[in-house]
């Protein structure tokens, strides 16, 4: 029976220092040798994990938390944010002095030349502050936006933008997605293409943006370093990412 495993990146494939543990790389190689299909499911944009895909030789992925799905280097599903709503959103964030980042599959642009919240949040992913381009969303399809504000300050947007979903990933930053968009939806698009059954689908994750994915697949695995909500939903909780979490989880599932 053909199986597929989806891996989140931050806190799952990569440790807290954004490094790929040696045991994880070996586990992915073994999975492939065992005939298991391997894919990535991440909140990141494709341009943010090019080197990781190359290192692991993975060419199928769910990115932007499900809004841009690629199967063997071909985009098979795109779900951009609605431009008219983005325009309204941008006006409100400007009034509230909350900067934004707009992202497509190739790059990202900010609504300001510099902001400490952007520098701190993006720095945690080891990315520099993006260049400024306030109108980037007008000429490009935007699959995810990032809102920069303190916790609870996003409440205004929850109430005024029902067409968007909001997921906080950093004390200073919130992901903005199309309503109903999630890694789970992106995974469904991919497995429909492959003709797989959900019961043969496995997923490893650690964060709040992994909850739908862990719930939707046949077997959801939470990392030992994962949030409480992910562990509560998962079928299995493995060890910390820096304590061979991927290796141990795959061993326990008898996939390697």
Under 8 Å between Cβ of 81 and 176: yes
Question: Any catalytic annotation for residue 240?
Answer: no
SS3 208: helix
Ramachandran category for residue 64: left, alpha or beta (phi over 0 → left; psi -120 to 50 → alpha)? left
Considering 8, 15, 175, 244, which one is annotated as catalytic?
A: 8
Q: What is the largest CA-CA distance in the chain?
A: 55
Output the CA torsion 225→221→237→206 (10° steps).
20
Under 8 Å between Cβ of 118 and 99: yes
Output the CA torsion 208→8→246→236 (10° steps).
40
Q: In whole angstroms, give the CA distance from residue 57 to residue 60.
A: 10
Tell me the HSE value of 140 on the side-chain side, using a 13 A CA sphere: 18
The dihedral sign for the CA sequence 83, 88, 93, 94: positive
The dihedral sign for the CA sequence 189, 191, 197, 200: negative
Query: What does the radius of gyration of the chain's CA atoms come to, in whole angstroms?
Result: 18
Tell me which residues are annotated as active site: 8
């Amino acid at each position: 029976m053909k199986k597929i495993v989806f891996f989140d990146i931050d806190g799952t494939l990569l440790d807290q220092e954004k490094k790929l543990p040696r045991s994880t790389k070996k586990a992915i190689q073994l999975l492939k040798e065992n005939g298991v299909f391997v894919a990535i499911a991440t909140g990141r944009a494709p341009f943010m994990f090019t080197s990781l895909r190359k290192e692991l030789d993975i060419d199928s992925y769910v990115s932007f938390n499900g809004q841009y799905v690629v199967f063997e280097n071909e985009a098979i599903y795109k779900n951009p944010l609605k431009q008219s709503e983005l325009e309204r959103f941008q006006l409100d964030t400007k009034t509230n002095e909350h900067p934004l980042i707009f992202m497509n599959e190739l790059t990202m642009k900010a609504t300001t030349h510099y902001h400490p919240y952007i520098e701190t949040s993006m720095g945690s992913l080891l990315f520099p502050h993006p260049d400024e381009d306030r109108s980037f969303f007008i000429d490009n399809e935007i699959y995810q936006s990032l809102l920069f504000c303190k916790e609870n300050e996003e409440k205004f947007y929850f109430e005024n933008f029902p067409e968007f979903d909001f997921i906080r990933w950093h004390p200073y930053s919130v992901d903005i997605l199309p309503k109903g968009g999630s890694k789970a939806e992106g995974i469904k698009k991919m497995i429909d293409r492959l003709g797989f059954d959900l019961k043969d689908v496995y997923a490893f994750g650690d964060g709040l943006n992994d909850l739908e994915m862990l719930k939707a697949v046949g077997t959801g695995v939470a990392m030992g370093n994962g949030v409480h909500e992910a562990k509560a939903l998962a079928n299995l909780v493995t060890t910390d990412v820096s304590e061979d979490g991927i290796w141990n989880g795959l061993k326990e599932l008898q996939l390697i």
